[in-house]
Structure 1
Amino acid sequence: MDTALIFPIQQLPSAEGWLMRQTLPVIAYGDGSAVNADVIVGDEAAAKSIEARIAKWPQAALVLVQVLRINETLPAAQGLDVESLAYSTLQGGPEFASWRQAQQSDETWPDSEGDALLLHRDGARMTASLNRPELRNSISLPMRDAFIEALQVLEADESLQELHFDAVGACFSVGGELREFGSSPDPVTAHWVRTVHSPARLIDKLRERVSFYLHGACIGSGVELPAFASKVVAHSKSYFQLPELQLGLIPGAGGTVGIARRIGRQRTAWMVLSGRRINAQTALAWGLVDELRD
Structure 2
Amino acid sequence: MDVLSIADLRALMLEPVAPASPLLPRSLLLVDSAAAQGFDEARVLDWLRRIPAPVIAVGGDAGPLSRACDVHVPDVEAAKRLRKIIAEHPLAASTLVQTLRLTQKLDADSGLVAESLAYASLQNGAEFRRWRQVHEATSAPDESGAAVEIERDGERLSLTLNRPLNHNAMTVEMRDALIEALTLALVDDGIRSLDIRAKGRCFSTGGDLREFGSAPDPSTAHAVRGLALPGRLLAMLAERTTVYVHGACIGSGIEFPAFAGRLVATRDAWFQLPELRYGLIPGAGGTVSIARRIGRQRTAWLALSGQRIDARTAKLWGLVDAIEG
| TM-score relative to the length of structure 2 | 0.88
Counterpart Cα distance in 1 of 2:166 and 2:132? 20
Q: How many Å separate the matches in 2 of 1:166 and 1:66?
A: 33
Whether 1:59 aligns to 2:86 is no
Which residue of 2 is the match for residue 124 of structure 1? 155
1:2 to 3, 9, 26: 26
Shift, 1:126, TM fit: 1.0
Question: How many residues in Structure 1 have an aligned counterpart in Structure 2?
Answer: 293
Q: Which amino acid aligns with 1:21?
A: R
Aligned residues of 2:58 and 2:73 also touching (Cα < 8 A): yes
Match of 2:175 among 120, 123, 144: 144
> Given residue 230 of structure 1, which amino acid in structure 2 is its aligned partner?
G
**1:10 Cα shift?**
3.5
Structure 1 position 109, deviation (Å): 2.9
Q: Distance in 1 between matches of 2:235 and 2:296?
A: 18
2: CA distance, partners of 1:246 / 1:209: 35
CA distance in 2, matches of 1:194, 1:91: 13
Q: What is the CA–CA distance in structure 1 between the aligned matches of 2:48 and 2:146, rounded to whole Å?
A: 47
- What's 1:92 paired with? 124
Alpha-carbon displacement from aligned partner over 1:70-123 (angstroms, at most 9, x marks no partner): 111100000000000000000000000001111125x43312311000111122
Is it true that 1:238 corresponds to 2:262 in the alignment?
no
| Partner of residue 310, structure 2 | 279
SS at match of 2:67: coil
User: Alpha carbons of 1:103 and 1:37: their partners in 2 closer, same or farther (altered >3 Å)?
Assistant: same
Q: Which residue of structure 2 aligns with residue 45 of structure 1?
A: 77
Whole-angstrom distance in 2 between the partners of 1:214 and 1:137: 12
> Shift of the alpha carbon at 1:11?
4.9
Runs of 5+ in structure 1 lacking a partner?
A: none
CA radius of gyration, larger in = 2
Superposed CA RMSD: 1.2
- 2:106 & 2:174 partners in 1: Cα distance? 28
Residue 120 of structure 1 aligns with an amino acid whose one-letter code is: E
TM-score (norm 1): 0.97
Q: Which moved more, 1:118-127 or 1:81-90?
A: 118-127
Moved over 6 A (4+): none
Which of the pair has the greater relative contact order for Cα pairs under 8 Å at 6+ separation? Answer: 1
**Contact in 2 for aligned 1:18/1:36 (Cα 8 Å):** no
* 1:19 shift after superposition: 2.9
1:30 is matched with which residue? Answer: 59
Tell me the secondary structure at the aligned position of residue 40 of structure 1: strand
Aligned partner of residue 197 in structure 2, secondary structure = strand
Listed as ranges, the gaps of 5+ residues in structure 2 are: 1-24
